[in-house]
Chain A
Amino acid sequence: NAGVTQTPKFQVLKTGQSMTLQCAQDMNHNSMYWYRQDPGMGLRLIYYSASEGTTDKGEVPNGYNVSRLNKREFSLRLESAAPSQTSVYFCATSGGGEFNPTEAFFGQGTRLTVV
């Protein structure tokens, strides 16, 4: 029972390089999210998704793209990494309905450094 699996755990990129952060869940949740966490800023929503093929922008989408490949997987891509994208990235999922929403379940996070 893995829950939410996020890879990689650590990554160092050079400015201008690209990479994809992977997230997979086995909880059968519809909603999936990508956040970045910076000191003093809390968790800021980058993108979120209700279902396969649908995505919505969050608070800080610039410089990122996402793909909801299927119900289980939601990936985050940095096309041309910048030092400002140095952060800890979290994937999360949530489910349930209007009167019984679940809490969010989180991956372990990816610590990304762009040099």
Chain B
Amino acid sequence: AQKITQTQPGMFVQEKEAVTLDCTYDTSDQSYGLFWYKQPSSGEMIFLIYQGSYDEQNATEGRYSLNFQKARKSANLVISASQLGDSAMYFCAMREGLSTGTASKLTFGTGTRLQVTL
């Protein structure tokens, strides 16, 4: 079974509009972390936002917010006021095994390619 599922291979959004990128996850751990990364065409991985499994409030970082629905095991990324520079691949990731004291496994989804249009 996929640990991280991103069902949108590609998305288009107009500049200045908001967009939601979907992510669902599967884990039996009680303690885990969810991350979103951006990968522009240059290839580097850029960290955007983090949500801990114990956090009751949704995480926000500037124009990025994470819509965390624990019971549904979803962690969708919301980008507000899209900019042309937001065009990139976006990956959802989960870090498990945080409470075990051993290596915490970090698993990525297959990504969503976002294109921002004028």
Contact = CB atoms under 8 A, between A and B. Distances in A.
Contacts of B99: 98
A48 B103 contact: yes
Interface size class of B (residues with CB under 8 A): 20 to 34
Central interface residue in A43, A51, A58, A59, by most chain B CB within 10 Å: A43
A93 to B, nearest CB: 10
Contacts of A48: 103, 105-106
Interface of A: 30-31, 33, 35, 40-45, 48-51, 54, 56, 58-59, 88, 90, 92, 94, 97-99, 101, 103-104, 106, 108-109
A31 B104 contact: yes
Contacts of A103: 35, 37, 47, 50
Contacts of B111: 42
B1 to A, nearest CB: 12
B104 A101 contact: yes
Interface in B77-118: 91, 93, 95, 98-99, 102-111
Given A43-B91, A106-B44, A31 B33 contact: no
- 5 residue pairs, one from A and one from B, having the closest CB atoms: A50-B103, A42-B110, A103-B47, A43-B108, A106-B45
A54 B52 CA distance: 26
A94 B47 contact: no
Interface in B41-59: 43-45, 47, 50, 52, 54
Contacts of B54: 99
B92 to A, nearest CB: 9
Contact of A101 (B37, B45, B95, B103): B95
B44 A108 contact: yes
B110 A54 contact: no
Contact of B106 (A54, A92, A109): A92
A97 B45 CA distance: 22
A92 B105 CA distance: 11
11 contacts: A40-B110, A43-B91, A45-B106, A45-B108, A56-B103, A59-B107, A98-B99, A101-B33, A103-B35, A103-B47, A104-B95
